[in-house]
Amino acid sequence: MTPKPTPIDGFPTSTSRTQAETEAVLLEHIPDPSSPHAKPTLQKNAHMQFLVRNLVQGFPTRYTSQDASQPWLLFWTLQAFSVLQVALDPGNKQKCIEKIMSWQHPDGGFGGGPGQAAHLLPTYASVCALAIVGRPGPNGGWDQINRKKMYDFFLSLKQKDGSFLVAHHSEVDVRGIYCLLIVASLLDILTPELVEGTAAFIASCQTYEGGFASASHPIFTLNGSIPPPPAPRPPLGEAHGGYTFCALASWVMLQPFVALSPEPKPTIDLKNLLRWLVHMQGIEIELGGFKGRTNKLVDGCYSWWCGGAFALLEALGLGGLQNAESDEVPIDSGTGAGVWDDVDDGPFNREALQEYILNAGQHPAGGLRDKPPKNADAYHTLYCLSGLSSAQHHIFPSKVRKQQLVDVWEASEEPNDNIRKDVFSELLSWTEEEGASHIVGGHENRLNATHPLSNLTITHTEGLAEYFYKQKVPVRVRTGKPEAKAA
Amino acid sequence: MTGRPPADDRVNWPQTFLVPAPRLVYNKTTVSNPFRPPGEGFPPFYIVSPSRMPSTTDEDVPLFAEREDWADVQPLEQYEGANPIASIFYTAEYKDATNYFRAIVKSGEKSPRVLELTENIIRQNPAHYSAWQYRYETLLALLPEKFDETPPLLTSELRLMDELAVQFLKTYQVWHHRRLLVPLAKQPMRELAFIKRSLEVDAKNYHTWSYRQWLLASCYGLGAAADEANDDSVIDDAEEVWAGELDFVDAMLSQDVRNNSAWHHRFFVVYGCRGLPSSESERQRIFKRELIYTKQNISLAPSNPSAWNYLRGILKETGNSISVVKHFARLYAFPHGSNEKHDIVDLDNPPPSAEAELPSVQAMEFLADVWEAEAIAKLKTEPKAAKTETDKAVEMWTALANEHDKIRKKYWEHRIRDAHHLLQASA
């Protein structure tokens, strides 16, 4: 049966016309259940070759538009390898380290290329790339990161409303704040002073739709201070998947600081956020892919920005495991027995998202994409794979794991030791629920799990944080629950 | 649509089109130029004309490396000791220009020729944020510290930005550079007109909309007005601008009622930027106006999530219960013919057209939320009635989960579970 198109109500507009065109294309990518190829396969080899080609042979000329994003090109490629369960050989790792270190700015932070100005976005990409290929010691990258200068660079970007410029003379937006917080968390340079007022800024970016916008604009009083709520701090731009991920991840990372902040504490509307996020998932005819804004088209990259955001909601007590563990109430909705109805796998359709990526997101020549008939590129390859991974696995913030980390914490004389411990143990508390993977298309399609905040693997996240916090991370004990089941 | 230049005149506006700016009220605390160098530098008579710029496709244009006026600069290669991994295949022109740019950044030169160099790079790669950053610093160095009339250098920069913004609509830097120029040029009305034109090319461009909102908030927002609270003429200007915004949104939504960016802008204009009006009667007037506006737009295209989200937004913002719209939602939440037909037209609740594809999923969800809210209101005082309302909501969510919105089955089940939790907890 052909799925129903999005209703036009006899009132076509430019939005409904583009939507209908997209639905016509996507319809062709719904597999015929009677065909022997109905079981969708992740073309791991083709994607690997696409990535190797980019890494070894280089990027074609049209990537000149990414010349100021060289750290991103490398991070997308390296992290896509990690998600595909592949590591580089030591020789290529060393080449990557040297290249990354050439992007470090003499005054702190990393730029988009050698001689380019420091910027929060390439700083995230560079540090995360170093988490994958770097190591401690001479020429290993990790010890060559100038953390003191990076911290000063971060402080120099701070604005009165708690936000940060992405670079000097540049814009404020929540992508930059996300990047700063990940890097500061991983490198142990996150202080209360640095992020004072930042949570309130993030909260002010939530729009009436429930998702988050790029930034908000402060209204100053005559003496140059910012009045407390309910003074307006209007969001600039509508709710958007990419900004929502960045804002939500920032909000999660800022929780230890919100706990310490005076009343009235900033708040966000979680229910409205959940509602907006689930509505970003396209309907059957859109193959269950995610869109980035209301009334826009589905795009593979939102598999991560929107699909990946559900794990973050669990850190705030919404959906997922906490929900399943609370007192169960029988569901008398009579929804019938589905394959996975025995497990509460969160509030969105993980199976459909995987199908979108497998059926529409893969380019036949390798690499992943926004949607057919578009070309594959490095950005979409990573975010489709990360989104697929997050839809396969259930990663949740484990209270047990957090306690283990707190128990072995080695106290130091450093200021803010308690908050450091909190940041460290929260960051590394994310744990995969064993036996809870749902892998569409079978085990061959399995990807590595990624950390819901950093989008690095859990191992790489732990490796970097363990080193910079000078802590020992206890070995994870497997509970021996049954292995992942496939549908 | 007054004062609109002909469509083919997008790049170079005639001077007559430049709307004279009202006195700019700009909050000095919002943007400062901490990196502004001391007042040395060149007098601002050097104008970079776009027409003289080398085009990247023109092979006759000499490289910087071939030019005598650049012979004093030693170009800097990007990577010493070729160690190629994940490299980009640059064109010769791009390599040439960026080699010279690295050299200039290193020497710290801020001269007119730097404007030519950065423009060259920006045309080849508008996302080169360091080129933009350095260009801005160079402009600051070349412009006089204070001026009454817009210096030619700034005028030519504004014109160049008009050209580049249309050409590279989706680039952050193009829009941010415009923001940096606003406090210098002090012509916000000119910017509003420009944005309107560029939204005709791309009606949902995120950068364009957020730039418009930034412009309104920083030039006509509460803080900006408070800055010169004694000057009534300034406040009048702001009122005029805000009224114009409402007409502008209306025009955008008439073109495409599903344009979510325009709905968001409406919220920004009506509530987001200025908060609720202080007088109760004014609050009521605006709420009623927005309510009927939204309902009418829903009646045109009932399955439009943008309009339903806006409806939710204004109800929450004004502290109204969503029950206020129960009767209206009911008209759209069931198949045709389920609601009694009335001969008298209810102007407050415009009905769906014959072509509307009912039930509208958005209306179903809305009505279920109304019932849930009514159940919550009755939990303590009328537990039995609360149970009845919950059952109605659960029935609706079940229909969504099983038939009308199956992709979100998990979410509707989550809502059912939550509603049951609530009933149980209060029992």
Bridge partners, residue A236, by sequence? A215
Q: Which residues pair with A216 in a beta bridge?
A: A235
**Encoded amino acid at A231, one letter:** A
Residues in A closer than 8 angstroms to B79, CB to CB, are: 99, 102, 114
What is the C-alpha separation between A120 and A113, in angstroms, rounded? 13
Residue B395 domain flag? yes
Q: Name the phi and psi angles at A212, rounded to 5.
A: -110, 150
Q: How would DSSP label each residue in A267-280? A: ---HHHHHHHHHHT
A-contacting residues in B 223-282 (Cβ below 8 Å):
223, 226-227, 255-261, 263-264, 267-268, 272-275
- Among A208, A220, A335, the residue with its CB nearest the CB of B30 is A220
ipTM for the whole complex = 0.94
B87 touching A, CB under 8 A?
yes
Whole-angstrom Cα distance, residue A224 to residue A273? 32
What DSSP character marks residue B24? P
Q: Can you name the residues that pair with A457 across neighbouring β-strands?
A: A450
**In the prediction, which pLDDT does A334 show?**
35
By CB atoms closer than 10 A (0-12, 13-18, 19+), residue A262 is exposed
Distance of CA B286 to the CA centre of its chain: 23
Q: Searching chain A, which residue's CA lies closest to the CA of residue B274?
A: A232
Active site residues of A: 240, 293, 296, 299, 301-302, 370, 377, 380
What is each CA distance from A486 to A1, A394, A442, in whole angstroms?
25, 14, 5
Chain A hits for B214, Cβ within 8 Å: 217, 236
Instruction: Give the end of a domain, one of B170, B185, B200.
Output: B185
Task: Rounding to the nearest 10 degrees, give the CA dihedral for residues B387, B391, B392, B397.
Answer: 140
Query: Is residue B414 one of the residues assigned to a domain?
Result: yes
For residue B217, what is the nearest residue in chain A, using CA coordinates? A217
Q: What distance separates the 2 farthest-apart alpha carbons in chain A?
A: 71
Q: Cα dihedral angle (A256, A257, A259, A261), rounded to 10 degrees?
A: 170
Rounded average pLDDT over B212-216: 95
Question: What number is the average pLDDT over the span A69-73?
Answer: 98
Coil, strand, or helix at residue A475?
coil
pLDDT at residue A3 greater than cutoff 90: yes
The answer on pLDDT for A335 being more than 60 is no
Whether A112 sits inside 8 A of B130 (CB atoms) is yes
d(CA A53, CA B87): 11
Q: Got the DSSP string for A11-66?
A: ---HHHHHHHHHHHHHHTTSPPTTSTT-S----HHHHHHHHHIIIII-B-GGGGGG
Cα separation, B222 vs B240, in Å, equals: 14
- Structure-block tokens of residue A25: 């294309």
CB contact under 8 A, B260 and A113: no
- Is the residue at B210 inside a domain? no
Closest partner CB to B397 (pick from A69, A281, A333):
A333
Mean pLDDT of A67-86: 98
Last residue of a domain, one of B169, B185, B201: B185
Which residues lie closer than 8 Å to A485 by C-beta, 6 or more apart? Answer: A435, A437, A438
Chain A residues in contact with B86 by the CB 8 A cut-off are: 54-55, 58-59, 70, 73-74, 77, 96, 99
CA distance B3 to B7: 12
Preferred mutation among A8, A9, A244, A246 to probe B, highest tally of B CBs within 10 A: A9
Is pLDDT at B125 greater than 60 in this prediction?
Answer: yes
Beta strands in A358-474 (DSSP E): 395-397, 430-432, 438-439
Q: Minimal CA–CA distance to A387: which of A79, A28, A73, A38?
A: A79
Length of chain B: 427
A interface test, pick of B210, B228, B265 with most A CB neighbours within 10 Å: B210
Binary contact (B214, A69; C-beta < 8 A): no
Asked if B137's CB is within 8 angstroms of A67's CB, the reply is: no
Say if B22 falls within a structural domain: no
A335 contacts in chain B (CB < 8 Å):
398, 401-402, 409, 413
B227 inside domain: no
Nearest residue on chain B to A225, alpha-carbon basis: B29
> Taking a C-beta distance cutoff of 8 angstroms, is the pair B169, B127 a contact?
no
Give the sign of the dihedral formed by CA A299, CA A303, CA A309, CA A314: positive
Q: Taking CA atoms, what residue in A is nearest to B403?
A: A335
Task: Name which of B15-19, B121-125, B217-221 the model is least confident about.
Answer: B15-19
Q: Which of A60, A65, A283 is closest, CB to CB, to B125?
A: A65
DSSP string, B280-296: HHHHHHHHHHHHHHHHH
The per-residue pLDDT for A485 is: 45
Instruction: Read off the pLDDT band of A35 (50, 70, 90).
Output: confident
Average pLDDT over chain B, rounded to an integer: 84
Residue B19: inside a domain: no
B344: contact with A, CB 8 A cutoff: no
- Confidence at residue A225, expressed as pLDDT on a 0 to 100 scale: 76
CATH number for the domain spanning B340: value is 1.25.40.120
Question: Which tops the pLDDT comparison, B3 or A76?
Answer: A76
Range of the domain at B291: 282-427
Is there a single domain that holds both residue B42 and residue B171?
A: yes
> What's the pLDDT at A346?
85
Instruction: Give the gap in angstroms from C-alpha B292 to the nearest C-alpha of chain A.
Output: 19
Sorting pLDDT into bands at 50, 70 and 90, what band is A65?
very high
The answer to whether residue A144 scores a pLDDT higher than 60 is yes
Mean pLDDT, to the nearest integer, of B154-176? 94
Query: Residue A323 is encoded by which pair of tokens?
Result: 């929900």
Query: Could A236 and B424 be called an inter-chain contact, meaning their C-beta atoms sit closer than 8 Å?
Result: no
Per residue in A190-214, pLDDT (tens digit) is 999 999 999 999 999 999 999 999 9
Q: Which of B401, B329, B402, B398 minimizes the C-alpha distance to B360?
A: B329
- Which has more confidence, B52 or A438? A438
Task: Give the residue from B400, B345, B340, B336 showing the smallest Cα distance to B367.
Answer: B400
Please judge whether A9 and B302 are an interchain contact, meaning their C-beta atoms are less than 8 angstroms apart: yes
By C-alpha distance, which of A271, B307, B318, A333 is closest to B328? B307
Domain boundaries, chain A: 42-58+67-152
Contacts of B101 in chain A (CB under 8 A): 115
Phi, psi angle pair for A281, to nearest 5°: -75, 130
For residue A215, give the H/E element and its range.
strand A215-216
Interface contacts (A, B; CB < 8 Å): 294
Cα(B75)–Cα(B103) distance, rounded to whole angstroms? 5
Rounded CA separation A41/A484 (Å) = 17
Looking at residue B340, its pLDDT comes to 66
Does B303 map to a domain?
yes
Q: What is the pLDDT of residue B133?
A: 97
Does the distance separating the beta carbons of B255 and A295 come in below 8 Å?
no
User: Given B227, B301, B413, which is nearest A11 (Cβ)?
Assistant: B301
Among A73, A117, A288, whose Cβ lies nearest the Cβ of B133?
A117
Residue A486, beta-bridge partner list: A439
CB A105, CB A168: distance < 8 Å: no
Whether A100 and A130 have beta carbons less than 8 Å apart is answered as yes
Please identify which residue in the block is written with the tokens 């100021």.
A68
Chain B residues within an 8 Å CB radius of A217:
30, 213-214, 217-218, 221, 273
**Residue A367, token pair as written in the block:** 């690499």
CB-based burial, A35-59: b 16+ in 10 Å, e otherwise: eeeebbebbbebbeebbbebbeebb
Counting the structural domains of chain B, the total is: 2
CA separation, residue B282 to residues B140, B241, B264 (Å) = 45, 19, 21
Our CA-based measurement puts residue A454 at a distance from the nearest CA of chain B, in whole angstroms, of 22
**DSSP H or E run through A486:** strand A485-486
Q: Which residues of B touch A220 (CB under 8 A)?
A: 27, 29-30, 223
**What is the rounded average pLDDT of the residues B27-32?**
30
CB B157 within 8 A of CB B144: no
Confidence at B128, pLDDT banded by 50, 70, 90:
very high
Averaged over B273-284, what is the pLDDT? 91
Residue A235 parent element (H or E): strand A235-236
Taking only the tens place, the pLDDT of each residue in B312-355 is 999 999 999 999 999 999 999 999 987 766 666 788 999 999 99
**For residue A370, pLDDT beyond 60:** yes
Residue of B nearest to A161 (CA): B30
| pLDDT at residue number B166 | 87
Kindly identify which residue of chain B lies nearest to residue A229, measuring between CA atoms. B275
Q: In percent, how much of chain B has pLDDT > 90?
A: 72
Confidence of residue B121 (pLDDT cuts 50, 70, 90): very high
Q: Answer for the pair A239, A212: CB distance below 8 angstroms, yes or no.
A: yes
- How far does the CA of residue B380 sit from the closest CA of chain A (Å)? 21
Do residues B62 and B179 share a domain? Answer: yes
Q: Is residue B173 classed as helix, strand or coil in its secondary structure?
A: helix
Whether cis (ω within 30° of 0) applies to the bond prior to A264 is yes
Token output for B104: 């200039």
